[in-house]
Amino acid sequence: MIKACNAGWGNCDGVTDNGCETNLANSKANCGTCGNLCGDVNGASVCIGGACSVTCEPGWGNCDGNPSNGCETDVRTDPAHCSGCGRACSSNHMTPLCEAGACTGTCLDGYTDCNNDKLVDGCETDTGSDPGNCGACGVACSTQNITPHCTAGGCDGTCAASYGDCNGDKLSDGCETYLASNPDACGACGNSCTSPMPPNTASVACNVDTCVIGACAANYLDSDQVYANGCECVSDTVSDTCVSPTDFGAIGMSTQTSATYSIMPVGDRDWFRGTLSMNVSTCAQRPRITLVDPSGLLRMAVYDSQTCPPSTGYACGATTSADSTGITSWEFGHSAACQDMGSIDPTPATGTYSTIPTAFLIEVFATGSSTACLPYQIEFTRY
């Protein structure tokens, strides 16, 4: 019976006659202790100093730390030990798979491996909601005038104040359009100040999200400040003073209507001159001057002289004040006998009245305030 073996030796065959026959320091079958086998599976092992040392063949590893089964792990295909013991493929949004020593596998729907590292973090990116990888890896939503946001793989988000995404591409250029001053997208995408431009305008602009008229076409004015109707007021060339009035010339026996003129809303007065042909021998062709005014805000004064400034109104008849102002219709009256009327006949003559042309001045003016121009005509008739 063997009581005890010397250090480093063992009675591993159980035979007492040969004592402690086994050198535990270098025996592959009894490395360090009897029965501790250094395995050669998929590798080669040695026992050195009572400890197994295994050298694995390429693609294999001793991952369980058990020397008896050698290099038991195929590190080319084992997702828990992919390319090396302990290198476990991530299961983040994927089923881990190891192929040829590299972590592979298919990502779950909506997720992608954008950093190309399925070992560490698998399919780490939600391409349905990641604005830096929206819809696919590397597809970053624009940050131009917008806080980037991704929904269902598409770039969306709310534009910054006064900006709009007018080309429908928040991926490439975000909210590219400044709406506060863009005449082609004024205040909102598609709200064009220029297509079409309002009537009688030369230029338009966008001011703080609102279309405004920049300049009117020649001879037009924007009196009411309403954009839709443009420069609605025709700016006539009639003088504001009696110094250089518009000349109607000689007014004959037939009805005659002037062109359309306009009184501007503030401070405008229009002056005209002409002569009334009254070379008649009967009472049937008395002159009448009518102010045709759709607004009802205009009045005229008719003067019997072309002297500027005129001193008195043009009398209308024997019982009419000489101050023929503030009227819309002027008619020259006379007696039933159709004789010269003295003070009311500007050109008294023997036997008839007004036998030669008589000069007149007409002043047109507004009696009330208005935000729009006031068009009118002057009509000459006989009665």
Q: Are 206 and 212 in contact (CB under 8 A)?
A: yes
Judged against a pLDDT cut of 50, whether residue 31 lies above it is answered with yes
Run of H or E residues at 268: none
Measured CA distances, 189 to 113, 144, 224, 229, 368 (Å): 37, 16, 27, 22, 41
In this prediction, residue 356 has a pLDDT band, given cuts at 50, 70 and 90, of low
Which range, of 47-56, 228-237, 311-320, averages the lowest pLDDT? Answer: 311-320
- Model confidence pLDDT, tens digit, residues 37-79: 898 899 999 999 999 989 999 999 999 988 888 899 999 999 9
- Predicted local distance difference test score (pLDDT) of residue 341: 44
Give residue 342's pLDDT band: very low, low, confident or very high (50, 70, 90): very low
User: In whole angstroms, what is the distance from residue 63 CA to residue 73 CA?
Assistant: 6
Instruction: Write the pLDDT tens digit of every residue in 104-163.
Output: 999 999 999 999 999 999 999 999 999 999 999 999 999 999 999 999 999 999 999 999
* Contact by Cβ (8 Å): 62, 71: yes
Q: What phi and psi values does residue 178 have, to the nearest 5 degrees?
A: -85, 115
Dihedral sign (CA 34, 36, 37, 38): negative
In 3D space, the residue among 344, 345, 245, 342 whose CA is nearest the CA of residue 300 turns out to be: 245
Name beta bridge partners: 163: 178
Q: What is the pLDDT of residues 32-41, one digit of tens each?
A: 899 988 988 9
150-191 per-position pLDDT tens digit: 999 999 999 999 999 999 999 999 999 999 999 999 999 999
Average pLDDT over residues 313-335: 63
pLDDT score for 19? 79
Query: In sequence order, what are the beta bridge partners of 353?
Result: none
Overall average pLDDT of the 355-366 stretch: 80
**Domain architecture of the chain: domains with CATH:** 1-74 (no CATH), 180-235 (no CATH), 246-382 (2.60.120)
pLDDT at 306 exceeding the cut of 70:
no
What is the model's pLDDT at position 337? Answer: 46
Higher-pLDDT residue of 71, 331: 71
Whether residue 96 is predicted with pLDDT greater than 90 in this model: the reply is yes
pLDDT number for residue 145: 98
H or E stretch covering 334: none
Looking at the predicted structure, is the pLDDT value of residue 357 above 50?
yes
Dig out the tokens for 153 from the structure: 């793989």
Q: What pLDDT shows up at residue 377?
A: 96
Task: Let me know: does 270 contact 297? Beta carbons within 8 Å.
Answer: no
Whether the predicted pLDDT of 364 surpasses 60 = yes
pLDDT at 297 over 70: yes
In 3D space, the residue among 221, 205, 282, 286 whose CA is nearest the CA of residue 251 turns out to be 286
pLDDT for position 335:
45
> CB neighbours of 193 closer than 8 A, spacing ≥ 6?
183, 184, 186, 204, 205, 206, 211, 212, 227
pLDDT for res 308: 84
Confidence label for 278 from pLDDT (cuts 50, 70 and 90): low
pLDDT of 351 > 50? The answer is no
Band of residue 340 on the pLDDT scale cut at 50, 70, 90: very low
Contact of 334 with 345, CB cutoff 8 Å: yes
∠ CA 144-145-151, nearest 5°, is 75
Amino acid at 127: T
3-state secondary structure string, 282-325? CCCCCEEEEEECCCCCEEEEEECCCCCCCCCECCCCCCCCCCCC
pLDDT at 318: 44
